Amino acid sequence: MAIRAIILLYLFVILYDVKGQGIRDSVFELPQVHVRAERIFEKESAGMRQTLIDSLTMQQKVNASLSELLSENTSVFIKNHGRGALATASFRGTAPSHTGVSWNGINISSPMTGMVDFALVPVYIMDEMHLKHGTASIADQAGGLGGSISISNRPDWDNTFSTHYTQGIGSYKTYKEYLKVEGGNQEVQLRTRAYHNQSENNYTFLNRAIADVEDGRVTHPVDTNTHADYKNYGLLQEVYLRPGGNHLVSARWWGQWAQRTLPRATSFEGPDNTNLNEQSSIDQRFVTDWTFFTGSGKWLVRSGYSNKSLDYFQKNRVPGVGLLPAVYSESTSHSYLNHAAYTHQVNEFFSLEGSLDVNYYDVDSRDSVSRAGFRVDRIEYSLFFALRHSFRDRLNVNLMVRQNHTDNAWDPIVPYAGFDLKISQRHNLILKGSVARNHHQPSLNDLYWQPGGNPDLLPEKGMAYELGLQHEQAFENLLLRNEITFYRSDVDDWIIWVPGFKGYWEPTNIKRVLSEGVEVHSLLEGKTAGIAWRTSATYALTRAVNYGDPLVWGDNSYGKQLVYIPRHSGNLLIHMAWRGFQVNWQHNSYSERYTTSSNDVSRRDWLYPYHMNNVSLGKAFSIGMMDFSARLKINNLFNESYHSVLYRPMPGRNYMLLLQAGF
């Protein structure tokens, strides 16, 4: 690995020198910054608050995971359990299972947990990402009480052949390799992406959870973050066909193998070869689409399959036996996902859409040590209908309704009514609003996990309201975009897992949660004296408050913010590019997070406000047909000691060098 990296570095240096001798100081306008202004006044998205992550941002984060992309660029809060470790999302103060995640239109949330580990989704496999905030997500699926995230791939029909290789070398023995080969013509396009990530993740930290007494003085050791290494390999294959002008056929397969060891508590002082935790997973996803355009209509037929195997074990050395698992949990899930939709443009102002989804899930989970486990399946139908009308380019109305049927019962109907009203033509100022109902089925683990699953759980039911202003204006060499949204979401029968008396956790419907807040997004970009620049900022105020019945007189959780949801969060991005040089500065802040439901804070469990600064510097250039770029990323610029979950110190200043070559 290291040798390969060094060879590449040499290659890079040599080529850079050649370039310095006067070969084509050319074109480099940044790696083609293709900023697509979001169309903000479309009847199909009336009332919906959406975020599009554009190609510039994607490019900057090509080596990152989805968790980093979301936390640094959107108002979605990511609870990160450590570098490379499990990362879950909270959209508008909701639970991780309330964010629907789809890849090319198929749901990739685990049917067992109902959620996605965002640390295991690399940005490299995405071409586009859309976020639908709140109940706008019912356009995609029911259950996204917080919102939905759609990741998609798209072909470049103009490409004939291109290939790019990226090598990343970073602190803590982190290596990243990415290879993309794509080619085709106007009728057929093939794209292949392969990647490999690995890290020893062996940063050092002052371990405050361990103390030694020397001469009456308490000292703390400098420890290495051991048992935290990770690696993963993946392959994405896409095939696109465009037979005739009216058909578009695609097939995509994404496979990934991932393994990580899970660090022990930092206070652990047991024997070295005990409490060893490891998790490995194999994911395969396949989806095929057929889109057929008629004169004023569009048919889409989609079929997908998703398979996940997840193994987790905890091993201890037992004298005379060797390493013996105390927990060995193996689970496999198969999801068969089918979707058929028809959209009809009656005229310029009026469209109709209908769709049917039929999904089947099969889950088998077992612990070979305790022998506890379950095997269940679930069949789910979802019928969707939408009617969109535009009134004289002034008012758009969007009415949607979704009806699900899960196993043997009808779910509550999910209606949505949204509007966009153009208040000012001159300033392109739009008032948006919506009201909707939503519900979320318990995941299969919630219902059947052994031990603890509760088959009597009720679905979570929510009512949501939102109102916002959106504005977009282009000046000479300047683009300004602002958006502010107020929302309120009231969820009944909220599911939480609480530890029971027999030493295991059990889910119950105990809470009513009221989540209210404001989301602000602002973007200003332009070009000054040849420097292309962009500033983008988001801010979210999130009040996610428990109004469940107190369990007992002394229950102080009523009226309090949910755990691990920051009240204030925000981020700021500043990007500048000039003749192939680029600088990127990213700031990210959260206010304190509570770890107790009563919002009690002691020094022992205080998660103080988080402020993080990351910088990257890069240069790109071309020699003949070849493109090259080099980028240095500096994370935790001010080398701060911090933790973002309790007693899990995070790395100090660290670096990543990315070298790319291709044509």
CA nearest to 494, candidates 71, 93, 134, 148 = 93
Pick the closer one to another protein by CB: 149 or 532: 532
Residues 37-56 binding another protein (CB under 8 A) are 37, 39, 41
Q: Are 129 and 150 in contact (CB under 8 A)?
A: yes
Pick the closer one to another protein by CB: 280 or 314: 314
- CB of 428: closest distance to another protein in angstroms? 6
- In single-letter form, the type of residue at position 228 comes to A
Write the binding mask 298 to 317 for another protein: x where contact by CB under 8 A, - elsewhere: ----------------x-x-
Pick the closer one to another protein by CB: 15 or 372: 372
Three-state secondary structure string covering 233-259: EEEEEEEEECCCCCEEEEEEEEEEEEE
Chosen residue from 293, 587, 615, 617 binding another protein by CB under 8 A: 587
Q: Which H or E run contains 663?
A: none
CA nearest to 635, candidates 651, 618, 648 = 651
- CB of 125: closest distance to another protein in angstroms? 26
Q: Across the strands, what pairs with 374?
A: 365
Residues 598-657 binding another protein (CB under 8 A) are 598, 600, 602-606, 608-611, 613, 637-638, 640-643, 645-647
Count CA atoms within 13 Å of residue 386 on its CB side: 26
Cα 140 from Cα 108, distance rounded (Å): 13
Cα 394 from Cα 349, distance rounded (Å): 11
Pick the closer one to another protein by CB: 249 or 480: 480
Pick the closer one to another protein by CB: 243 or 270: 270
Residues 361-420 binding another protein (CB under 8 A) are 369-372, 374
Pair of tokens at residue 271: 């024997």
Pair of tokens at residue 661: 């070559």
CA nearest to 344, candidates 375, 299, 312 = 299
Write the binding mask 106 to 145 for another protein: x where contact by CB under 8 A, - elsewhere: ----------------------------------------
Q: Which H or E run contains 7?
A: helix 2-20
**Strand duo 276-293 + 106-107: pairing:** unpaired
The SS3 of residue 639 is coil
Cα 33 from Cα 578, distance rounded (Å): 12
Pick the closer one to another protein by CB: 30 or 436: 30
Pick the closer one to another protein by CB: 366 or 437: 366
Rounded to 5°, angle at Cα 379 from 377 and 380: 140
Task: Indicate the DSSP class of residue 643.
Answer: B
Residues 217-246 binding another protein (CB under 8 A) are 218, 220
Residues 487-526 binding another protein (CB under 8 A) are 498-504, 506, 508, 510, 524-526
- CB of 638: closest distance to another protein in angstroms? 4
- CB of 599: closest distance to another protein in angstroms? 8
- In single-letter form, the type of residue at position 388 comes to R
Pair of tokens at residue 628: 């090259």
Chosen residue from 185, 551, 626, 653 binding another protein by CB under 8 A: 551
Cα 335 from Cα 349, distance rounded (Å): 38
Residues 419-448 binding another protein (CB under 8 A) are 426, 428
Residues 247-286 binding another protein (CB under 8 A) are 264-271, 274-275
Pick the closer one to another protein by CB: 48 or 106: 48
Chosen residue from 572, 583, 634, 657 binding another protein by CB under 8 A: 572
Chosen residue from 15, 33, 194, 352 binding another protein by CB under 8 A: 33
Residues 463-482 binding another protein (CB under 8 A) are 472-480
Q: Could you identify the residue written with the tokens 């699953």? A: 453
- CB of 578: closest distance to another protein in angstroms? 12
Pick the closer one to another protein by CB: 192 or 535: 535
Pick the closer one to another protein by CB: 127 or 506: 506
Write the binding mask 142 to 171 for another protein: x where contact by CB under 8 A, - elsewhere: ------------------------------
